[in-house]
Amino acid sequence: MILFPAIDLKDGQCVRLKLGDMDEATVYNTDPAAQARSFEEQGFEWLHVVDLNGAFAGASVNGDAVEAILKATKNPVQLGGGIRTLAHIEAWLEKGLSRVILGTVAVRDPDLVKEACRAFPGRIAVGIDARGGKVAVEGWAETSDLSAIELARRFEGAGVAAIIYTDIDRDGVLTGINWESTIELADAVSIPVIASGGLASLADIVRMTMPDATKLEGAISGRALYDGRIDPAEALKLLRGEAP
C-alpha cells in the first residue's frame, strides 16, 4: 500500500486547490524541487505530480518545474495534467518519469490510451476525476455523462498500470476519502486503483489497512501532509503494518 505525496503545480509553485478551483489556490512551497526532496527524506517512495495549468491548457505549462523535480529526487514520479499525445507521453518518459497519467484524453480518445499502453507497458495510468459520480474533464471544467465505472471498464485488458480516482467534491477540503465509491470502482475492475481527494487524517490511513481496502494500490495525500494533519513517519508505519 503506497501513500503518494502530491505536488500540484500552478505557475511554477507547489499549491493545493479547493474543490479544483484555480482561484482557490494555497501556495505551500515556491520551490517544488525542494518539496520533492523533502518528501523523499520523510520516507515516501513515490511522488504524484500534477501540472494544473497544463490540465486546463491541454499542454505542459510547468515543464521546467517537473524537470527540476525529476532531478531532485530518486523516487519514481507519476505526472498528469495536459498530456494528450503519444509524442508528449514519450517525451516525458524519456525525461525520467516513471508513469504518465492520462485524464481528459482517456475520455476523448480512449484508443490513444490503449496505444500508449502497448508502446509503454506498465507506465500509463488513467486519471478518473468524478463530480457526483460523473467523469469531469478539461481540468475539471467540464462534466461528462460518463460514470467513473463505465470509463474504467473501457480499459480492462488494455495494460493500464493504475487508475487514479479523484472525488472532486472532496478534493482539498479534508473531509475524508470517498471510500464507498473508491472501493466500488476497485471491485468493478481488475486494474489497480489509487484513491485521491479528501484524505484528511490518520483515520484515512487506518481505513486503507482495512480488508476491503487492501485491494487498492494506495492513496494520494496533499493538504493533510502540508498542513501537518498527518505525521509521515506514523502514516508510513501504519501502512507497513508496524505499530505506531
Grid cell listed for 228: 501537518
Query: How far, in Å, are 25, 135, 138, 238 from residue 235 at the CA level?
Result: 26, 30, 33, 5
Which of 51, 129, 171, 204 does the annotation list as catalytic? 129
Q: For residue 205, is it left (φ>0), alpha (ψ between -120 and 50) or beta?
A: alpha
* Residue 235 near residue 229 (C-beta atoms within 8 A): no
Query: How far, in Å, are 56, 107, 135, 166, 211 from residue 142 at the CA level?
Result: 10, 12, 9, 15, 35
8 annotated active-site: yes
Give φ, ψ of 146 to 5 degrees: -90, 135
231 annotated active-site: no
Residue type, 141: A
- The count of other CB atoms within 10 Å of the CB of residue 209 is 13
What sign does the dihedral 64-125-54-48 (CA atoms) show?
Answer: negative
- For strand 2-10 and strand 13-18, is the pairing parallel, antiparallel, or unpaired? antiparallel
Closest to 137 in 3D by CA, of 110, 161, 176: 110
Which of 8, 51, 167, 171 does the annotation list as catalytic? 8
* Residue 201 near residue 177 (C-beta atoms within 8 A): no
| Residues with catalytic roles | 8, 129
